[in-house]
Amino acid sequence: MSGQSETADADAARRTGADEGAEAERTKGLIDPVSLGRWMDDQGLAGRGEPVTSRFISGGASNEIFEICRGEHRWALRRPPRDVPEGRNEIMMREYRIISALADTDVPHARAAGGTDDTSVLGSAFYLMDFVDGWSPISESGWPEPFASDMDARPGLAFELVDAIAKLSRVDWKANGLEGLGRPDGFHERQVDRWYAHLSRFKFRDIPGLEEAGDWLRGRTPRSYVPGIMHGDYQFANVMYHHGAPARLAAIVDWEMGTVGDPLLDLAWVVMNWPDHEADRPSMGYIDYEGLPFTGDLLERYAAMSGRDVDEMDYYVILARFKLAIVLEGGYARFVSGEADNPRLEGFGQIVLDLARDAAALAQATKL
């Protein structure tokens, strides 16, 4: 990135090389090219008979992603980690069902190529999708050019982020084969108890603020609720952009929390830590917010494109923080207990505490 010294670049390169070596060792054997090739042949995928090669791309808290090449053809393969968590194979096929249903819609996504829950192929369920030639903010040390230097180009990154979920909210989920994917009826009435039940499976410490947020949410429901497809973990980390300007979102990725519920929760996921004022603009996490529009601009954009009412966004932000705190606590609990080998999970510990604190603070402050 611009502004870095040669020494910093060299240090980063050494760290990257070490990290890549560690990741290669950690994911060794997760792809059996011969077995995968036979399965691809059976599915009628391109490159029949040619050797299959794989390259590790990234590992999330609960999934591993590889580039798969066969001749001139490329795909991305998504599968659970080596020690497959309970229920993860079913979630993998749920993801595959969602991206398959998005075919022929205007929602940016990687086209589904094939998937299976037959664990004899790779030891877990997995699916293949088109390889997206683009970049993700989570994989960059800062905004790539031209967004690093051209402030006039930056707002498009945020508007594209919001436009994609506005488009997703408009998809007719019944007509696209997703009936039965979730339980939209009573969606909001179930949220607190549903996530407390999830927490009970791995709870090992107190989380200050979580109970206060849960008490506020219990018994409250939005005045206007129209079910739709929701991603469930929507943020800059889970999208990819095409290279170059203007900003164009290439694909929404990582659908493991996708369901039919309230799409406004995806918008809350985006704005729950987004700056409201100029003084709030410093970088938070992996995002530099300088030059990006404010929360109000995003809400207005989403409302105009989706046709949905955003007046009760405080409710959704409190729910988003409450839910995300519990989701991340699950990953942190797995790390603490030694059940997971991904070092990124260790950092979830403090994030969980911050989310619960902020959820409780907004519950106290909101005028809803």
Check residue 9 and give its pLDDT. Answer: 31
Burial of 144 (0-12, 13-18, 19+ CB in 10 A): middle
Asked if 367 contacts 219 with a C-beta cutoff of 8 angstroms, the reply is no
Each residue's pLDDT tens digit, 261-302 = 999 999 999 999 998 876 666 556 678 999 999 999 999 999
CB 108 within 8 A of CB 249: yes
**Could you state, in order of their start, the residue ranges of all structural domains in the chain?**
6-130, 137-365
User: What is the assigned CATH class of domain 137-365?
Assistant: alpha beta
What's the pLDDT band for 342 if we cut at 50, 70, 90?
confident
**pLDDT tens-digit map of 120-131:** 999 999 999 999
The whole-angstrom separation of Cα 134 and Cα 244 is: 9
pLDDT at position 12 over 60: no
Q: How confident is the model at residue 18 (pLDDT cuts 50, 70, 90)?
A: low
Nearest to 257 by CA among 72, 77, 92, 60: 92
**pTM metric for this prediction:** 0.88
Query: Is residue 5 pLDDT above 70, yes or no?
Result: no
d(CA 152, CA 313): 28
The pair of three-digit structure tokens given for residue 250, joined into one six-digit string: 């290439």
What is the predicted pLDDT for the residue at 282?
A: 59
CB within 8 Å of 284: residues ≥ 6 apart:
273, 275
What pLDDT does 341 receive? 75
**Cα angle vertex 156, ends 289, 290, to 5°?**
15
Residues 83-103: tens digit of each pLDDT: 888 899 999 999 999 999 999
Band (pLDDT 50/70/90 cuts) for residue 1 is very low
% residues pLDDT > 90 (the chain): 81
What is the percentage of the chain residues whose pLDDT exceeds 70? Answer: 92
pLDDT 10s digits, 183-237: 999 999 999 999 999 999 999 999 999 999 999 999 899 998 999 999 999 999 9
Give the pLDDT score at 19: 67
Give the range among 13-27, 124-138, 245-259, 298-312 with minimum mean pLDDT.
13-27
The domain covering 6-130 belongs, at the CATH homologous superfamily level, to Phosphorylase Kinase; domain 1 (3.30.200.20)
**pLDDT, position 25:** 78
Predicted confidence (pLDDT) at residue 33 exceeds the cutoff of 70: yes
